[in-house]
A = this chain, B = another copy of it.
Amino acid sequence: MDDEKEPLPTRREVLALAVAGSAGLLVAACTPAPKPVPSLKPTEPTEEGEKMAAGKVLAGAHQVVPLPFDPKKLTGLSEKLLVSHHENNYAGAVKNLNKVEADLAGITKDTPPYLVSGLKERELTFTNSKILHELYFGNLGGDGKAAGDIKKLLEQEYGSFDRWETEFRVVGQGLGGGSGWVILAYNFQTGLVQSYWSGGHTQNVAFGQPLLVMDILDYGAAAGKYIDAFFQNINWAEVDRRLGRAQKAAALLRG
C-alpha cells in the first residue's frame, strides 16, 4: 500500500464508490440521494479535509490473494471445499474489509461511540480473517512431513513433537462445536513458540507472529477427520521459513 503517488481524485472516487455501493444505511438517511454520495465529509473538500478522510489507513484497497496451490491436488480436502472456503469465507472478508474501512473514513468526534465500536469490531474481524486465511492457505499444499528448525524447536519447547501435535489437535477438536482457529505462533514477548486457541477471528496473541494456522469451520464432532486431512497437507517448509523470519526479527522487537 505504498501509494504516495496515487492522484487524489482517484482516491476520492474510490471512496465515493465504496460509500455509494455499500453504505445503504447512510444513503437511506438522505431522502433524495441526488447522485452517488460524494464522501462522508460534511463540508467542502479543502486540501486538508481531503487528506483527513483519505489517509493510507483508510484506503480500503485490499486485494484477494489467489490460492497458492492447486486445489485439485490436496489429500483428503476436496477442491469444492477449498474453493468455496477461499471464495466465500476469505474473499468475502477482504471485500468487507474494504467497505468497512471506507465507512470508518467518515467518522468524526460526533459519531456515536457504539457505532464506531461496531465498525471497529468488524474491521478487526475482517483484518484478521484476511491475515489468518492467507497464512492458512499458505501453509497448505505440502506433504505433511515436519522437518527443519521448526521441528527441532517444537521438540525442545514441548518435550517431543508428538506432545505438541497432541495439544494442537485437541485444541482443534475443542473448537469443533463452533468455529475458530488454532495458531502456532512466535510470541515476541517471551521468545517462545506456542499453540494458541482462537474462538474467532478476533482472538489472537497480542504480540506475535503466526507460524502454522489451522482454520476450524463448523464441523462439530466431525472435526477430527478434517484435522487428520489438514495435517497431511501441511507445508512445513513454509512454516520453517516463517520461523526463520520470526527469529531474526525477535531480537529487534524485544529491544
Task: Flag A1-41 by CB within 8 Å of B: 1 or 0 each.
Answer: 11100001000100110110011111111110010011011
Cα of A146 to Cα of B97 in the assembled complex, Å: 29
Most B C-beta atoms less than 10 A away, residue of A16, A42, A55, A129: A55
Cα of A31 to Cα of B48 in the assembled complex, Å: 17
Query: Is residue A145 contacting chain B, with contact meaning CB distance below 8 A?
Result: no
B246 near A1 with CB under 8 A, answer no
B55 near A157 with CB under 8 A, answer yes
Q: Given A24-B112, A27-B29 in contact, is the A174-B120 Cβ separation under 8 Å?
A: yes
Chain B residues closer than 8 Å to A12, beta-carbon distance? 31
B106 near A54 with CB under 8 A, answer no
A176 near B113 with CB under 8 A, answer yes
Q: Which of A71-79, A190-198, A229-237 contacts B (4 or more CB under 8 A)?
A: A190-198
Q: Given A112-B99, A196-B120, A245-B255 in contact, is the A160-B3 Cβ separation under 8 Å?
A: yes
CB distance from A107 to the nearest CB of B (A): 6
Chain B residues closer than 8 Å to A85, beta-carbon distance? 220
Chain B residues closer than 8 Å to A58, beta-carbon distance? 158
Q: Given A55-B163, A91-B221, A106-B29 in contact, is the A99-B114 Cβ separation under 8 Å?
A: yes
Query: Is residue A82 contacting chain B, with contact meaning CB distance below 8 A?
Result: no
Query: Is residue A147 contacting chain B, with contact meaning CB distance below 8 A?
Result: no
Chain B residues closer than 8 Å to A109, beta-carbon distance? 24, 166, 169-170
Q: Given A15-B29, A40-B29 in contact, is the A160-B52 Cβ separation under 8 Å?
A: yes
Chain B residues closer than 8 Å to A219, beta-carbon distance? 88
Chain B residues closer than 8 Å to A167, beta-carbon distance? 104, 107, 116
Complex A-B: 17 CB contacts under 8 Å: A1-B191, A16-B29, A23-B115, A24-B110, A25-B26, A25-B103, A51-B156, A88-B219, A88-B220, A88-B221, A91-B221, A113-B171, A125-B177, A132-B206, A183-B206, A207-B210, A249-B252
